[in-house]
């Protein structure tokens, strides 16, 4: 089973609000990066040496949202692949490549690899497009983040 992997640079970028214990988990950082990547549809493949494996399953704080996160991932991935959802055979083939119901995180190794690519690209979006500087407070970060995510989701076609 593959791990959730976070870019080393993203941990540094979020260090101001992490130091203040406003972000209790590395998964909080991963989640923000992932949502930015999924909303824009960007993916980036990082070398393993540029990332940190930090958890194999969704932490308790995210367990009840794990199916929603995976659904967003599947919607984005199938859309980016141009999969027609009315073609059940094609949709099933792609979904079964990404999902593993027996895995504790519900993702296959390929699914986790793709999810991590969205998170890696999402960090680049946060750093290079959405924010002028790294966040200093969670409140200011969330205000901008929320506006950008809302815009990205509106433009997301399923």
Cα distance between residue 118 and residue 39, in whole Å: 9
2 phi and psi, to 5 degrees? Answer: -85, 160
pLDDT value of residue 119: 97
pLDDT value of residue 4: 94
Token reading at 142: 């969330």
pLDDT value of residue 157: 59
Answer for the pair 36, 125: CB distance below 8 angstroms, yes or no: yes
pLDDT value of residue 153: 62
Q: Which residues of the chain have pLDDT under 70?
A: 1, 21-22, 152-158
What is the number of helices (H) and of strands (E) in the chain?
A: 8, 2
Token reading at 136: 């200093």
Pick from 19, 49, 20, 52: which is nearest to 33 by CA? 52
Query: Over the stretch 56-99, which tens digit does the pLDDT of each residue have?
Result: 899 999 999 999 999 999 999 998 888 888 889 999 999 999 99
Answer for the pair 97, 110: CB distance below 8 angstroms, yes or no: yes
In which residue are the tokens 């009840």 written? Answer: 64
pLDDT value of residue 21: 67
Mention every residue, 6+ apart, whose C-beta is less than 8 A from residue 7: 33, 46, 50, 51, 52, 119, 120, 123
pLDDT value of residue 20: 72
Cα distance between residue 47 and residue 110, in whole Å: 15
Token reading at 79: 């859309």
CB atoms within 10 A of CB 89: 6
């Amino acid at each position: 089973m593959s791990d959730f992997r976070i870019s080393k640079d993203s941990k540094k970028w979020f260090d101001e609000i992490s130091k203040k214990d406003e972000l209790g988990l590395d998964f909080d950082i991963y989640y923000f990066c992932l949502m930015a990547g999924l909303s824009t549809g960007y993916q980036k493949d990082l070398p393993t040496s540029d990332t940190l494996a930090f958890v194999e399953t969704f932490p308790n704080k995210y367990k009840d949202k794990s199916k929603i996160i995976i659904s967003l991932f599947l919607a984005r991935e199938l859309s980016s692949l141009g999969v027609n959802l009315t073609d059940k055979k094609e949709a099933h083939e792609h979904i079964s490549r990404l999902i593993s119901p027996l895995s504790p995180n519900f993702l296959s190794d390929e699914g986790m690899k793709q999810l991590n690519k969205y998170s890696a690209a999402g960090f680049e979006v946060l750093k290079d497009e959405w924010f002028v500087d790294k966040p200093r407070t969670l409140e200011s970060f969330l205000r901008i983040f929320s506006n950008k995510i809302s815009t990205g989701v509106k433009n997301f076609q399923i």
